[in-house]
Amino acid sequence: MPTLAKRVVGALLALLGLVLTVIGLWYALHLGGSGTATFSATSTGTNPVLVPQTVLNRVDGDVKVTATPRKGGSVWLAAAAPSDAKAVLGRSAHTTVTGVSTMPWELTTTTDGTGETPALDTSDVWRNTDAGDGAVSMTVEQANAPETVIAQATTGQLARIDLTWERKSWFVQSVIAALVGLFLLLSGLSLLWSSRRDASAGRTRADQPTHEGETS
């Protein structure tokens, strides 16, 4: 392979390998050996939070929903069919979780509606409910899909909503990505070193004087 081509290919491989290694290690460190991914939204205030089926049922695996109130507050969590949950909320002000972002492990949200929230806990549409002082958690199983969860502070305000997924294969995939990246990085550096030696050898040959053969 020509020296210039080696340099270009080596640089590209090294760059790609470095990026892949960093990303793989970053995910592996955040997920841990259990492959646990937790996404959070903070400072949700007095509005109830709607976590729709488009988020909860996106991945084939159980989802742990945790609502944490501000100090001294209490929380109420409930799960229902998507249409029932929206009907109970109506057009009242609420926050909706629209998705997740791995950088920096946050929930994306929007705020919709106006007016006061109705008494949600008096409705009979809820499949499962839980309440208490401090953080309250509920596990959503995919066997019950589609399902929507609503979190509301019964006293005080909500401080944070967390969604947690756990899948060991995510950690394994992250490690594999890091190893592949490391291989590409080393391969690229090897090509760059080889091209440097070839260039050095070429300059050495060019600097050597030419000796004409002697005649008798």
pLDDT at position 210 over 70:
no
In single-letter form, the type of residue at position 85 comes to A
- Work out the average pLDDT over 47-66: 94
Question: Other C-beta atoms within 10 Å of 211: how many?
Answer: 6
What pLDDT shows up at residue 201?
Answer: 55
What pLDDT shows up at residue 117?
Answer: 84
Say how far apart CA 130 and CA 2 lie, in whole Å.
69
Question: Other C-beta atoms within 10 Å of 148: how many?
Answer: 25
Q: What are phi and psi of 70, to 5 degrees?
A: -70, 165
- Work out the average pLDDT over 153-176: 93
Please state the pTM of the whole predicted model.
0.80
What pLDDT shows up at residue 141?
Answer: 94
Query: Which CATH number is 36-166 given?
Result: 2.60.120.380
Q: How far is CA 7 from the centre of its chain?
A: 35
Give the residue extent of every domain in the chain.
3-28+170-198, 36-166
pLDDT of 17-26, one tens digit each? Answer: 999 999 999 9
pLDDT of 92-141, one tens digit each? Answer: 999 999 999 988 899 999 998 888 888 898 888 999 999 999 999 999 99
pLDDT at position 216 over 50:
no
pLDDT band, residue 207 (cuts 50/70/90): low
